[in-house]
A and B are shown apart, each in its own frame.
Chain A
Amino acid sequence: MNSINALPATDLFDASTFDINKVRADFPILKLQVEGNPLVYLDNAASAQMPQQVIDRLVRYQTTQHANIHRAVHYLSELATAEYDDARRKLQRFINAGEEREVIFTSGTTEAINLVMHGYGRKFIGAGDEIIITNLEHHSNIVPWQMLAEEKGAAIRVVPINDAGELQIDAYENLFNERTKFVSLIHVSNALGTINPIKKMIAYAHSRGVPVLVDGAQAVPHMKIDVQDLDCDFYAFSGHKLCGPTGIGILYGRAALLEKMQPFKGGGDMILSVTFDKTTYNTIPYKFEAGTPPIAAAIGLGAAVDYLSAIGMEKIAAHEHALLQYATTQVSQIEDVKIIGTAQQKASVLSFVMKHIHPHDIGTLLNQEGIAVRTGHHCAQPVMQRFGLPATSRASFAFYNTMDEVDALVAGIRNVQKMFA
């Protein structure tokens, strides 16, 4: 399917095949009471909750399958290795990577981007070269490139956004010149929810001979991702936003590029042979997986994508889109509340500000009603600067959220207003 317009129209959504109560029953944490109220968890863009199926998989691994991988010949080591490799194949299928060896386990999106900065950037980007990023980037896709630019004497160029929070594609194309060596783009803005037209942007970069990394941390949980269809060179995302464990993430990389790159971290498992004179590096993906990886977390992530695939990413996207539409309509009717980020194409993120009420007060008071939202700059200070705001409040929805929870948020916002009136 076309990944750019990944949110199908709601009329395509057949509610009869998506049983929200059954889905919610899979998530034990959703039964929690917070401050005497049922938990309304709307901080999914920061981290999603874990279904029992993934929790059970982690327990099964630790109780019956754990040993170090790629090492010993004994039963448990072989079993753990097979399960770890199987998890890699699950992730490969999940994003439709062409080859298993193109899927590298990292600790998360941040490490995946840093891996590319060190492995590709430090080898192929030099003085006077330019790297294009966007105004929507999370700090994790800004700071590594600034570090590289400082080290190499390279420059960062930034694609501006309009008042709706959409990238200005004409300006993007105008940033290219003969010194442009790399493009690193966020797929979905964590602060505003904007879905960027990355397929088109990748095609343009390729027409100029420039490779592209996509930060997909906020995209993968909400839509079907096909890295071959997108034709990206690198795609990075995190497990814990996908109902998986923390400490695990994925870097997809085109095999030809990964092979040209230098290793990021040195150590065990990333080598073929070591003498004090010379080390021969292992083949990909192992070249980039030094040391004992988070084996349990990788296997847990494999279970998480199995879980999501069984529901269906299209159904997940459709339910979340319906939640976003309903929340947008309801919140925009509240006086003195302004939604920040009104792009045509949006994932289920609702950032807002309230007149005369600081986001941190909003967050603390909503928490009194059991409602979890994120308040602050969302690790995207340039986005806040663009809108002249110190911070926003952000509700981000997952497929296990309900329309009733949107109502609870709206009632909560009105209560905050009453308190400050």
Chain B
Amino acid sequence: MRWWQAYATCKKCLLKIMANLKALYQEVILEHNKKPRNFGVVTAATHHAAGHNPLCGDHLEITLAMQDEHIHEIAFTGESCAICKSSASMMTVAVKGKPRADAEILIQEFLEMTTGKLDLSVPENAQKLTHIGRLKIFAGVAELPTRVKCAILPWHTLHAAFASVAEISTESEFDPMHAPIGDA
């Protein structure tokens, strides 16, 4: 049993642990940084988008093969910090094989959690996150305003890929920190 699973029955405990960024770095994130899942390009892609954070130089590209509104294949490439890369890696694992609608809900939940729009110290709020699952380990990023953009870049890029926005940037008019997400 992994350390985070031991606490999985108690959301409050879990969040407390998640808030400890050092633990965050030491565990799952570093593992995904070192061995990113679905790293590469989907050759028969039906959708793709590029994401870029000019302030730190993070950039990544996501390719998707959609079938019957399901994410049949997904991959990402690019260069970025550990938080961005592990976020992208875990995102691809979470959405692969899922209906697009579920992925959109997950994007929404991830953004609300990491941008602090949802105060997770309130238990009812934590219960609203029905799809987040293991990705809850990124909750601690909300405490680091300068790193939030790193964590959310893959998610905005996935959203952009669905919406066929060719390229997004954290510093353009389509700023993920402020752009509307949902049915756009």
Residues 138-161 of B contacting A (Cβ, < 8 Å): 144, 146-147, 150
Chain B contacts to A: CB under 8 angstroms:
21-22, 25-26, 30, 33-34, 55-58, 79-83, 144, 146-147, 150
A377 within 8 A of B: yes
> Which A residues are in CB contact (< 8 Å) with B81?
358-361
> Which B residues are in CB contact (< 8 Å) with A376?
55-56
Is B21 a contact of A358 with CB atoms below 8 Å?
no
> Which A residues are in CB contact (< 8 Å) with B34?
420
A408 within 8 A of B: no
Kindly provide the distance from the CB of A412 to the nearest chain B CB, expressed in whole angstroms: 13
Of the residues B33, B56, B82, contact of A391 by C-beta under 8 Å: B56
> Which B residues are in CB contact (< 8 Å) with A368?
21-22
Is B21 a contact of A419 with CB atoms below 8 Å?
no
A52 within 8 A of B: no
Kindly provide the distance from the CB of B76 to the nearest chain A CB, expressed in whole angstroms: 16
Cα–Cα, bound, A364→B30 (Å):
13
A390 within 8 A of B: yes
With contact pairs A358-B80, A358-B81 given, residues A419 and B147 touching in the complex (Cβ less than 8 Å): no
Cα–Cα, bound, A198→B58 (Å):
35
With contact pairs A360-B147, A361-B82 given, residues A419 and B56 touching in the complex (Cβ less than 8 Å): no
Of the residues A357, A358, A420, contact of B56 by C-beta under 8 Å: A358
A255 within 8 A of B: no
List 26 A–B pairs whose Cβ atoms lie within 8 Å, in order of A's numbering. A357-B82, A358-B56, A358-B80, A359-B56, A359-B81, A360-B81, A360-B147, A360-B150, A361-B83, A364-B21, A364-B25, A364-B83, A364-B144, A364-B147, A368-B21, A368-B22, A375-B56, A376-B55, A384-B57, A390-B57, A390-B58, A391-B57, A419-B25, A419-B30, A420-B33, A420-B82
A201 within 8 A of B: no
A76 within 8 A of B: no
Is B147 a contact of A420 with CB atoms below 8 Å?
no
What is the 8 Å Cβ interface bit string for chain A, positions 164-188, against chain B (1 contact, 0 not)?
A: 0000000000000000000000000
> Which A residues are in CB contact (< 8 Å) with B56?
358-360, 375-377, 390-391
Kindly provide the distance from the CB of A382 to the nearest chain B CB, expressed in whole angstroms: 13
Kindly provide the distance from the CB of B84 to the nearest chain A CB, expressed in whole angstroms: 8
Residues 332-380 of A contacting B (Cβ, < 8 Å): 357-361, 364-365, 368, 375-377
Cα–Cα, bound, A376→B83 (Å):
15
Chain A contacts to B: CB under 8 angstroms:
357-361, 364-365, 368, 375-377, 384, 389-391, 419-420
User: In this complex, which of A389, A390, A419 has the most chain B Cβ atoms within 10 angstroms of its Cβ?
Assistant: A390
Cα–Cα, bound, A51→B73 (Å):
59
Cα–Cα, bound, A49→B62 (Å):
44
> Which B residues are in CB contact (< 8 Å) with A360?
56, 81, 83, 146-147, 150
> Which B residues are in CB contact (< 8 Å) with A359?
56, 81
Cα–Cα, bound, A391→B56 (Å):
6
> Which A residues are in CB contact (< 8 Å) with B150?
360
Kindly provide the distance from the CB of B80 to the nearest chain A CB, expressed in whole angstroms: 7
Is B57 a contact of A365 with CB atoms below 8 Å?
no
Apart from the given pairs A364-B147, A384-B57, A389-B57, 9 other A-B contacts in the complex at a CB distance below 8 Å: A359-B81, A360-B146, A360-B147, A364-B21, A364-B144, A390-B79, A391-B56, A419-B30, A420-B34
Cα–Cα, bound, A44→B88 (Å):
34
Kindly provide the distance from the CB of A258 to the nearest chain B CB, expressed in whole angstroms: 37
Of the residues A384, A390, A391, A420, contact of B30 by C-beta under 8 Å: A420
Of the residues A361, A364, A390, A419, contact of B26 by C-beta under 8 Å: A419
User: In this complex, which of A361, A376, A389 has the most chain B Cβ atoms within 10 angstroms of its Cβ?
Assistant: A361
Cα–Cα, bound, A358→B146 (Å):
14
> Which A residues are in CB contact (< 8 Å) with B82?
357-358, 361, 420
Kindly provide the distance from the CB of B156 to the nearest chain A CB, expressed in whole angstroms: 17
Kindly provide the distance from the CB of A33 to the nearest chain B CB, expressed in whole angstroms: 16
> Which B residues are in CB contact (< 8 Å) with A365?
22, 25
Cα–Cα, bound, A375→B150 (Å):
14
Kindly provide the distance from the CB of A163 to the nearest chain B CB, expressed in whole angstroms: 20
Cα–Cα, bound, A357→B146 (Å):
17
Residue of A nearest to B53 (CB): A390
Residue of B nearest to A381 (CB): B54
User: In this complex, which of A359, A360, A361, A390 has the most chain B Cβ atoms within 10 angstroms of its Cβ?
Assistant: A360
Kindly provide the distance from the CB of B68 to the nearest chain A CB, expressed in whole angstroms: 38
Cα–Cα, bound, A375→B146 (Å):
11
Cα–Cα, bound, A362→B144 (Å):
14
> Which A residues are in CB contact (< 8 Å) with B21?
364, 368
Kindly provide the distance from the CB of A360 to the nearest chain B CB, expressed in whole angstroms: 5
Of the residues B22, B55, B58, B83, contact of A377 by C-beta under 8 Å: B55
Cα–Cα, bound, A405→B166 (Å):
47
Cα–Cα, bound, A110→B25 (Å):
37
Cα–Cα, bound, A384→B30 (Å):
26
Kindly provide the distance from the CB of A284 to the nearest chain B CB, expressed in whole angstroms: 39
Kindly provide the distance from the CB of B110 to the nearest chain A CB, expressed in whole angstroms: 19
Kindly provide the distance from the CB of A289 to the nearest chain B CB, expressed in whole angstroms: 34
Cα–Cα, bound, A164→B25 (Å):
34
Cα–Cα, bound, A375→B58 (Å):
13
> Which B residues are in CB contact (< 8 Å) with A364?
21, 25, 83, 144, 147
